[in-house]
Chain A
């Protein structure tokens, strides 16, 4: 009986871990066939639209679950992930489709110093300690590096 209970519990907890871990899988645990890191550090508003178009096109090009995309923004490019950005809803929609958005903590700190307050980021953006470091990590994990 105890063995039976233990087996059921193990199976149950394994399922919990697997379902809960899907969203928290680190990049190197991804099961996607293709992985892309899209890099923006440009102030040019056209680049913002271009990088979002790139993400959309990549999602469209592959079957669901076959591609993983992370957008890393640092320097002036961090504006893309400001909460007030005109592309906010599109970014949130891409995030719902699985695209990850990383905001450089170093840039955020620098902008806070310039503005006198911390700019509010899009809630879907995750702050990483350093944007360029994050790119390096992802490339090492096999991500294809794209800078529009």
Chain B
């Protein structure tokens, strides 16, 4: 608790100090600014844009000795097959400055129509779901105010725009700790592993009643970016939100808090591929309600959900490198080694976790090819008898057909295991031992 307060106070102090040393506001090319603002006096009234991501994936995992599968061995969001084609994302949005001669106000709207856990993991599947709807007020120098539904300050993989993400799947720390699955309001029992026949016969391993959080929340954020010195740009963001992802409700009546700070030495360029060396740190503090008693009585109990991270990103063509460390306390998703969608206190509600990733890319000169590699690892239920480690290598190649269209090929070498030498791990590893490698090919078209 003390450590959490110290980290939060440190972030707040640095953000305040920046107000005294910063010079003029900068038109930054960082994600806070790219997603939350428009070019002043140079934006459209309504710019329509979007992207489609179509992919083919094949998972080479083996079932357990009873011929049964657990979610890590199946393709999301339906979790009923190990290979197939999918439209994982199909988003259309509009953004701009509604009254173009007044740059004080801009908006951002985005709709998801792809087949993912945004549209197909809740109790009711939907054809489309709104992922972003925000308005930014740019009246106070140094303190822009953004309100609505939008991406929360957090890990780089979550905060950045997915259509320019260099990999197909998120790293395990981000997927497990930040791409939030929300507990159901009523007690929900575990589901055991299922055979292929059972899955294709209609049994669903998706037992959530809410969609994934999508790295988003509904709330209000204060943020801005400043030029400091000759080449540096410093950004900050502070946000409070309902803590229910892309759903418009506040289940526990409390508000999640988010803080973000970055300092980037700018090299060149603008937009999503601006070159620079960025250092960043962030924190998220909130709580969730969970009923983990198997009776007909609603026994909702509140659990903390805290996340924090720090990292560095370097981009100067032809090379790119990113590293990030993420720490988590509470509400650790307990699903992957058994199809459980509870966070029961014996599993993840009061557990800790930590993970990190390192990745790099090489834009092959005088070609449209790019090579990527990432290693990531997350330690779930740290220091417990069911301590899990999920690690993987992702080897990737991309071919840029044009600046807006690319093919991405990823090959994942996965190693998931329960690492403690105890009975819980013996059972868990009966399912995890068969987790194999995965290959995926994705076509991204941005318009």
Chain A residues lying within 8 Å of B42, measured Cβ to Cβ, are 45, 48, 79-80, 85-87
A114 at the interface (CB under 8 A from B): yes
Nearest CB of chain A from residue B231's CB, rounded to whole Å: 15
Nearest CB of chain A from residue B94's CB, rounded to whole Å: 15
Chain A residues lying within 8 Å of B40, measured Cβ to Cβ, are 82, 84-86
B44 at the interface (CB under 8 A from A): yes
Interface hits, B1-29 → A, CB 8 Å: 27
Type the 1/0 row for A66-78, where 1 means its CB is closer than 8 Å to any CB of B: 0000000000101
A115 at the interface (CB under 8 A from B): yes
Interface hits, A87-132 → B, CB 8 Å: 87, 111, 114-115, 119
B197 at the interface (CB under 8 A from A): no
Chain B residues lying within 8 Å of A79, measured Cβ to Cβ, are 41-42, 100-101
A43 at the interface (CB under 8 A from B): yes
Interface band, chain B: 10 to 19
Q: Is the CB of B100 within 8 A of A76?
A: yes
Q: Is the CB of B41 within 8 A of A84?
A: yes
Q: In whole angstroms, how far apart are the Cα atoms of A44 and B101 in the complex?
A: 12
Q: Is the CB of B44 within 8 A of A43?
A: yes
Type the 1/0 row for B70-113, where 1 means its CB is closer than 8 Å to any CB of A: 00000000000000000000000000000011110000000000
- Residue of A44, A80, A114, A115 near B41 (CB, 8 A) is A80
Nearest CB of chain A from residue B441's CB, rounded to whole Å: 33
Q: In whole angstroms, how far apart are the Cα atoms of A78 and B101 in the complex?
A: 9
B169 at the interface (CB under 8 A from A): no
Chain B contact residues: helix, strand, loop or mixed: loop
Q: Is the CB of B101 within 8 A of A119?
A: yes
Chain B residues lying within 8 Å of A48, measured Cβ to Cβ, are 42
Chain B residues lying within 8 Å of A87, measured Cβ to Cβ, are 42
Q: In whole angstroms, how far apart are the Cα atoms of A82 and B40 in the complex?
A: 9
Type the 1/0 row for A33-48, where 1 means its CB is closer than 8 Å to any CB of B: 0000000000111001
- Residue of A45, A76, A86 near B101 (CB, 8 A) is A76
Chain A residues lying within 8 Å of B27, measured Cβ to Cβ, are 86
Q: Is the CB of B102 within 8 A of A45?
A: no
Q: Is the CB of A85 within 8 A of B41?
A: yes
Q: Is the CB of B103 within 8 A of A45?
A: no
Q: In whole angstroms, how far apart are the Cα atoms of A111 and B39 in the complex?
A: 19
Closest to B101 in A: A111
B43 at the interface (CB under 8 A from A): yes
B316 at the interface (CB under 8 A from A): no
Q: Is the CB of A43 within 8 A of B100?
A: yes
Q: Is the CB of B101 within 8 A of A114?
A: yes
Nearest CB of chain A from residue B434's CB, rounded to whole Å: 53
Chain B residues lying within 8 Å of A115, measured Cβ to Cβ, are 101-102
Chain B residues lying within 8 Å of A76, measured Cβ to Cβ, are 100-101
Chain B residues lying within 8 Å of A45, measured Cβ to Cβ, are 39, 42-44
Most chain A beta-carbon neighbours within 10 Å: one of B27, B42, B101, B102:
B42
Chain B residues lying within 8 Å of A78, measured Cβ to Cβ, are 101
Nearest CB of chain A from residue B43's CB, rounded to whole Å: 6
B45 at the interface (CB under 8 A from A): yes
Given contacts A86-B27, A86-B39, contact A44 B44 (CB under 8 A): yes
Q: In whole angstroms, how far apart are the Cα atoms of A87 and B103 in the complex?
A: 14
Q: Is the CB of B41 within 8 A of A82?
A: yes
Chain A residues lying within 8 Å of B45, measured Cβ to Cβ, are 43
Q: In whole angstroms, how far apart are the Cα atoms of A44 and B41 in the complex?
A: 10
Chain B residues lying within 8 Å of A119, measured Cβ to Cβ, are 101
Type the 1/0 row for B28-58, where 1 means its CB is closer than 8 Å to any CB of A: 0000000000011111110000000000000
Q: In whole angstroms, how far apart are the Cα atoms of A85 and B103 in the complex?
A: 9
Nearest CB of chain A from residue B138's CB, rounded to whole Å: 9
Nearest CB of chain B from residue A37's CB, rounded to whole Å: 22
Chain B residues lying within 8 Å of A44, measured Cβ to Cβ, are 44
Nearest CB of chain B from residue A109's CB, rounded to whole Å: 13
Closest to A89 in B: B27
Chain B residues lying within 8 Å of A111, measured Cβ to Cβ, are 101
Chain B residues lying within 8 Å of A86, measured Cβ to Cβ, are 27, 39-42
Type the 1/0 row for B377-413, where 1 means its CB is closer than 8 Å to any CB of A: 0000000000000000000000000000000000000
Q: Which chain A residues have a beta carbon within 8 Å of chain B's beta carbons?
A: 43-45, 48, 76, 78-80, 82, 84-87, 111, 114-115, 119
Q: Which 6 A-B pairs have the closest CB atoms?
A: A82-B41, A85-B41, A86-B39, A84-B40, A79-B41, A45-B42
Q: What are 8 of the A-B contact pairs (CB < 8 Å)?
A: A48-B42, A76-B101, A79-B100, A82-B103, A84-B40, A84-B41, A86-B40, A87-B42
